[in-house]
Every structure is written in structure tokens, then in C-alpha cells.
Amino acid sequence: MVRISRSIEDTIGIGEGIAKALKAGDVVALIGNLGSGKTVLTKGIAKGLGVKNINYVNSPTFVIIKEYIARVPLYHLDVYRLNELATLDAETYEEYFYGDGVTVIEWADKIRKILPKKYIEIRLSVIGECERKIEIKKNK
């Protein structure tokens, strides 16, 4: 499925729509360049899951993982700063990938080798100053 966002609000709305179909144990792999809307889409997913204040949802670049309370927990990972897969503690990540919440991973292409077999891949790309192309597909 391909969606076109023409604003931040559109991207948040698309994220809300995605969240309606998510359940505990789902992994969402976000792939896109800087500024493509990964964090904004995550805010929308957070809103759709029931996070009270999405203003606090921001990229966990320096801490790698942030957790938010919602109808199911939201685990937000940003692996941008990881240089090598070897720096990952696989057991810790498996706890999130196979846990009781929804896991959203920014820059997921950097850790594709350790992603679970089943996940939702979302590719974001800039197509204009305020426009983003959002491609959603399920990997099984």
C-alpha cells in the first residue's frame, strides 16, 4: 500500500491508521533518509495506540530505546547511531521484538539481519518540501 502525506498532520494521521491494526508482538520497521518522517509517523502510531501526550514522543537516537504507556506498550527504537550489529545485545532486542508491546524501529535497515521473520516494513521518502511517500508492506 502506498500513501502520500502532504503535511505533518497527514503523516500523524497515517500513523494513527496503522496503529489501529497493530497488536502486542508487532514489529514496525521504518526505513528512510533523514527528514523523511520516521519520527513523525511514530508520533502518529503512538497517538493511535493511546499514548497520552505525543509531544514527548521523539527520536531516541542517544538512548536507543524509549518506552511509552498505551493500550499496548510502545517500544520506540532508533538504531541510527549503531555502527555494527555486534554492538547490539540480541537478547535485549528479542525481549522487545517478541514482547507484550508494539516495537517501532527507526533505521531498521541497519539491523535487518536480526529482525524477526514477520514484521511490517514502512519505507518513507521525500517527494517534495512537505510531501512524503509512505510505502507499507508486511514481510512474512
Q: Which fold has domain 2-139?
A: Rossmann fold (3.40.50)
**Calpha distance 60→79 (Å, rounded):** 9
Task: Give 138's Cβ-side CA count (13 Å radius).
Answer: 6
* Residue among 68, 4, 8 at smallest CA distance from 37: 8
pLDDT score at 91: 60
pLDDT score at 118: 93
Q: Where are the domains of the chain?
A: 2-139
110-132 per-residue burial string, b: 16 or more CB within 10 A, e: under 16: bbeeebeeebbbbbbeeeeeeeb
Chain centroid to Cα 68, Å, comes to: 13
Residue 84 has pLDDT above 70, yes or no: no
At 27-78, the pLDDT tens digits run: 999 999 999 999 999 999 999 999 999 989 988 767 778 999 999 999 999 8
Cell numbers at 27, concatenated: 514489529
pTM of the model: 0.91
Q: 3-state DSSP: the chain helix, strand, coil percent, rounded to 5?
A: 35, 30, 40
At 111-123, the pLDDT tens digits run: 888 899 999 999 9
85/127: higher pLDDT: 127
Residue 83 has pLDDT above 90, yes or no: no
pLDDT score at 112: 87
**Mean residue pLDDT across the chain:** 90
Residue 135 has pLDDT above 90, yes or no: yes
